[in-house]
Chains A and B, each alone.
Chain A
Amino acid sequence: MLRTFPKGGIHPPENKLTSSKPIKRLPVPKVVYVPISQHIGIPAEIIVDRKDKVEIGQVIAKSGGFVSSNIHAPVAGTVTKLDKIVDTRGYKQQCIVIRTDQKDETNFEQVDLPLLEEFDLEPQEILQRISDFGIVGLGGATFPSHVKLNIKEGKNLDCLIINGVECEPYLTADHRLMLEKGEEILVGIRILMHALHVDRAIIGIENNKRDAIDNFKKLASNDPGIQIAALKVKYPQGGEKQLVRALLKREVPKNGLPLDVGVVVHNVGTIFAIYQAVQHNRPLMERVVTVTGKKLENPSNFWVRIGTPISDLIDAAGGIPEDTRKIVSGGPMMGRALKNTDVPVTKGTSGILVISGGEANRGAPKNCIRCGECVDVCPMGLEPHLLMNLAEKGMYEKAAQEDILTCIECGSCSYVCPSHRPLLDYIRFGKTIAKQLESNKG
């Protein structure tokens, strides 16, 4: 019997079209647009000016506080302007525009680095590097990693969990990374175990990625500290709380963190970035992005420099198909529909999904028929229909009492609703207001 989380969850069609396609390196774009807010927390502060020459990997925006992250130049070139560009929500955000220097060889040199297994850094130095090299959670939430790794005294940490679940349909970025960079990821895990003083790590992978599970089992066979766990395929298993529950049967308290039950969770992509930062002094300036869609000519996985316009990615995958109705940044469940394709790839972009025809439509909402499906599938044990009603009627305090703030916004409720009710839209809105009310109170 495979492990999984007990409450709720759904199983949307997997549609992993690109799981057998090796990650290709996308050509370096002529111009990159690097937003200064690519992470949760305070935006970084720009420290370059117009016409400045920048080296590849140079810090161009400095962390603006503790919950913030450095941003590095993804290419060598010249800063042409400090401008505003649309983000995934369509609002303009400050960004640094760099024109790539076509003559600079570092831009185009072979970027695959040799495996480097030995490390002799002190834990403090490792954490410092993770902070300096702008590592954030690459699973999608983009929470600065050094904050997660900063274990306060009194917390009893005994296990490191590596999130290789990738429960979102369509996306295969983590899957391919686990297959191609398995050894590097294992080194990364050992580095983190050393830095956090833990002797146990579990890699959680859903059972639809058998090849990745077998790969890790083979590579880690002589390391008793690292376990590989196959999990039953169920969305949203990639959520931290769900994953901790599935692997260790520990319940993360509501409004709490995995650290409260002695666990730290990191995505495999983050682990690889940490490996590169610690072993090769390489800042986070590229990531794997899955470009996919049923009508797309050539859906692929790409290594992409941060700041590459999304239109470049779609062109490399065969261009926008004729009857495209929606382009989503991220997976189909939690991603955001894009307003246009000028939006650059940021640290949090895990996939680009091109949806065609009728699949893009949401369906007209009808009345709630009280079937209770949303309650059944909610992985947090909430009552989405009730929360939506409360948010719609402006009863935000009551909604807060009903734990609206513990919602992880996985969208399972909206997915199963037979009346196509916009449950998550209202819950997200209610959450925003409830959060405001709470911070006003505190």
Chain B
Amino acid sequence: MSDSILYSVILLALLGTVAALVLYVVSKKFYVYEDPLIATVEDLLPGANCAGCGSPGCRSFAEKLVGSEDISDLFCPVGGNEVMNLVAGALGKEVKEQDPTVAVIRCQGGCDVRPKTTEYQGPRSCAISSLIYSGETDCQFGCLGDGDCVEVCKFDAMYMDEATGLPVVITDKCTSCGMCVDACPRNIIEMRPKHKRDLKIFVGCLNEEKGGIARKACSVACIGCSKCLDVCPKEAISMENNLAYIDPELCTLCRKCVDVCPTHSIIETNFPPRKKKNVEPEVTIKVEPVKPQNNA
């Protein structure tokens, strides 16, 4: 009886010793040095793994930050300047301050202004329907309304407005990671600087058709009339393929172009209401609402 206890104790002790030796040898032989800074930096990053920085995840971004000499080109859009300054402090390197950006939807073609001419019965996915055909309306540039952008947003910063059938960005939640920009097959979503109080002016249309055709497909389309070009004091607006584009770097938010646009395709957001000058009826411009609809 006592023998068997003794034998098993000896056997287990031997086994344990051998295993410990093997483990010791292996850990010495295959030791990989890892910079402890990587873990420190990774802890500072938001940990969203959204790939907005260009790296597949926060860990690999941390490795990149620690590994590269000059990190002024690297930026975490989710953490913003705050996190990047912390990272710079931890690493003793220089970072460049960047203006915070936010996603904007460059299409206002809701159901009321852009009539449907066909009916789509395939899978509700922009990627698939854009492969099959040019969409339910006559505009081949605008939003397809199947919500691929909402699907990929990891921060719940987008939802589909049921009234218009267009996606809406909740600017407070948007981290400008850029997932929606990549997901949109029509390239409608753009990252634009947030400015103070989230003031933005941009052209809410991508239609490159000639004026008449564009207008026929959608009543708020950019018709390429160049009125905004003439009125802009800073030459921030360029016109290409019958489509205006406002350079956010040059724009001073003077709102002159918004006033002259005959189709109201230039969008202004979060500006205070204007002082009334004449009795012209107030232009209804969609301002992004901040509260999401209850459709989760």
Binding site for B on A (CB under 8 A): 86, 89-92, 336-337, 339-340, 361-362, 365, 422, 425-426, 428-429, 432
Question: CA of A428 to CA of B127 in the docked complex: distance in angstroms?
Answer: 11
Q: Is B278 an interface residue, CB under 8 A from the partner?
A: no
Min CB–CB distance B53 → chain A (angstroms): 21
Which chain A positions have C-beta within 8 A of B117? 339-340
B121-A425 in contact (CB<8A): no
Nearest 9 A-B pairs (CB), nearest first?
Answer: A90-B134, A362-B121, A90-B133, A422-B123, A429-B128, A89-B133, A91-B134, A425-B122, A425-B123
Given A90-B135, A337-B133, 10 extra CB contacts under 8 A: A86-B134, A89-B133, A90-B118, A90-B134, A90-B140, A339-B133, A422-B128, A425-B123, A425-B128, A426-B123
Which chain B positions have C-beta within 8 A of A429? 125, 127-128, 131
Smallest CB-CB separation from B140: which chain A residue? A91
Smallest CB-CB separation from A364: which chain B residue? B121
Which chain A positions have C-beta within 8 A of B123? 365, 422, 425-426
Question: CA of A43 to CA of B118 in the docked complex: distance in angstroms?
Answer: 28
Min CB–CB distance A388 → chain B (angstroms): 9
Name the prevailing secondary structure of the B interface residues: loop
A425-B134 in contact (CB<8A): no
Question: CA of A92 to CA of B140 in the docked complex: distance in angstroms?
Answer: 8
Question: CA of A425 to CA of B127 in the docked complex: distance in angstroms?
Answer: 10
Which chain B positions have C-beta within 8 A of A422? 122-123, 128
Which chain A positions have C-beta within 8 A of B127? 429
Which chain A positions have C-beta within 8 A of B22? none
Question: CA of A137 to CA of B273 in the docked complex: distance in angstroms?
Answer: 63
Given contacts A90-B140, A339-B118, contact A428 B131 (CB under 8 A): yes
Min CB–CB distance A97 → chain B (angstroms): 15
Question: CA of A336 to CA of B134 in the docked complex: distance in angstroms?
Answer: 12
Can you list 6 A-B contacts with CB-CB less than 8 angstroms, sorted by A residue number? A86-B134, A92-B140, A92-B209, A339-B117, A339-B134, A365-B123
* B:93-150 near A, CB below 8 Å: 117-118, 121-123, 125, 127-128, 131-135, 140
Question: CA of A92 to CA of B131 in the docked complex: distance in angstroms?
Answer: 14
> Quick one: which of B121, B122, B125, B134 contacts A89, CB cutoff 8 A?
B134
Smallest CB-CB separation from A391: which chain B residue? B128
Contact count A vs B, C-beta below 8 Å = 43
Min CB–CB distance B34 → chain A (angstroms): 29
Which chain A positions have C-beta within 8 A of B118? 90, 337, 339
Min CB–CB distance A430 → chain B (angstroms): 10
Question: CA of A428 to CA of B130 in the docked complex: distance in angstroms?
Answer: 12
Smallest CB-CB separation from A388: which chain B residue? B123
Given contacts A90-B140, A91-B140, contact A425 B133 (CB under 8 A): no
Size of the B side of the interface (Cβ < 8 Å), in residues, is 15
B128-A362 in contact (CB<8A): no
Min CB–CB distance B130 → chain A (angstroms): 9
Min CB–CB distance A419 → chain B (angstroms): 13
Question: CA of A73 to CA of B209 in the docked complex: distance in angstroms?
Answer: 27
Question: CA of A90 to CA of B118 in the docked complex: distance in angstroms?
Answer: 11
Question: CA of A349 to CA of B28 in the docked complex: distance in angstroms?
Answer: 71
Question: CA of A92 to CA of B209 in the docked complex: distance in angstroms?
Answer: 10
Question: CA of A7 to CA of B278 in the docked complex: distance in angstroms?
Answer: 76
Which chain B positions have C-beta within 8 A of A361? 121
Which chain A positions have C-beta within 8 A of B133? 89-91, 336-337, 339
Which chain B positions have C-beta within 8 A of A91? 133-134, 140
Which chain B positions have C-beta within 8 A of A425? 122-123, 128, 132
Question: CA of A422 to CA of B131 in the docked complex: distance in angstroms?
Answer: 14
Smallest CB-CB separation from B127: which chain A residue? A429
Smallest CB-CB separation from A433: which chain B residue? B127
Question: CA of A428 to CA of B122 in the docked complex: distance in angstroms?
Answer: 12
Given contacts A90-B140, A92-B140, contact A432 B131 (CB under 8 A): yes
Question: CA of A365 to CA of B209 in the docked complex: distance in angstroms?
Answer: 36
Question: CA of A281 to CA of B146 in the docked complex: distance in angstroms?
Answer: 51
Max count, chain A CB within 10 A of own CB: residue among B121, B125, B135? B121
Which chain B positions have C-beta within 8 A of A339? 117-118, 133-134
Which chain B positions have C-beta within 8 A of A92? 140, 209
Question: CA of A432 to CA of B128 in the docked complex: distance in angstroms?
Answer: 10
Question: CA of A336 to CA of B131 in the docked complex: distance in angstroms?
Answer: 12
Question: CA of A428 to CA of B128 in the docked complex: distance in angstroms?
Answer: 8
Which chain A positions have C-beta within 8 A of B122? 362, 422, 425
Which chain B positions have C-beta within 8 A of A362? 121-122
Question: CA of A89 to CA of B125 in the docked complex: distance in angstroms?
Answer: 16
Question: CA of A90 to CA of B135 in the docked complex: distance in angstroms?
Answer: 8
Min CB–CB distance B243 → chain A (angstroms): 14
Which chain A positions have C-beta within 8 A of B135? 90
Min CB–CB distance B105 → chain A (angstroms): 22
Max count, chain A CB within 10 A of own CB: residue among B117, B118, B123, B135? B123
Question: CA of A425 to CA of B118 in the docked complex: distance in angstroms?
Answer: 18
Question: CA of A234 to CA of B121 in the docked complex: distance in angstroms?
Answer: 27
Min CB–CB distance A357 → chain B (angstroms): 14
Which chain A positions have C-beta within 8 A of B121? 361-362
Min CB–CB distance A336 → chain B (angstroms): 8
Question: CA of A426 to CA of B132 in the docked complex: distance in angstroms?
Answer: 11
Question: CA of A86 to CA of B217 in the docked complex: distance in angstroms?
Answer: 14
Which chain B positions have C-beta within 8 A of A90? 118, 133-135, 140
Which chain B positions have C-beta within 8 A of A365? 123
Question: CA of A188 to CA of B53 in the docked complex: distance in angstroms?
Answer: 61
Question: CA of A429 to CA of B125 in the docked complex: distance in angstroms?
Answer: 10
Which chain A positions have C-beta within 8 A of B209? 92
Question: CA of A89 to CA of B134 in the docked complex: distance in angstroms?
Answer: 6
Min CB–CB distance A404 → chain B (angstroms): 14
Question: CA of A432 to CA of B185 in the docked complex: distance in angstroms?
Answer: 13
> Quick one: which of A86, A89, A340 contacts B132, CB cutoff 8 A?
A89
Question: CA of A229 to CA of B248 in the docked complex: distance in angstroms?
Answer: 68
Min CB–CB distance A391 → chain B (angstroms): 9
Question: CA of A22 to CA of B128 in the docked complex: distance in angstroms?
Answer: 40
Question: CA of A361 to CA of B122 in the docked complex: distance in angstroms?
Answer: 10
Question: CA of A425 to CA of B146 in the docked complex: distance in angstroms?
Answer: 15
Smallest CB-CB separation from B119: which chain A residue? A325
Min CB–CB distance B26 → chain A (angstroms): 33
Which chain B positions have C-beta within 8 A of A426? 123, 128
Min CB–CB distance B28 → chain A (angstroms): 38
Question: CA of A76 to CA of B117 in the docked complex: distance in angstroms?
Answer: 35
Min CB–CB distance A334 → chain B (angstroms): 13
Question: CA of A43 to CA of B101 in the docked complex: distance in angstroms?
Answer: 40
Question: CA of A429 to CA of B123 in the docked complex: distance in angstroms?
Answer: 11
Question: CA of A362 to CA of B124 in the docked complex: distance in angstroms?
Answer: 13
Cβ contacts B183-225/A at 8 Å (1 or 0 each): 0000000000000000000000000010000000000000000
Question: CA of A336 to CA of B123 in the docked complex: distance in angstroms?
Answer: 16
Min CB–CB distance A341 → chain B (angstroms): 12
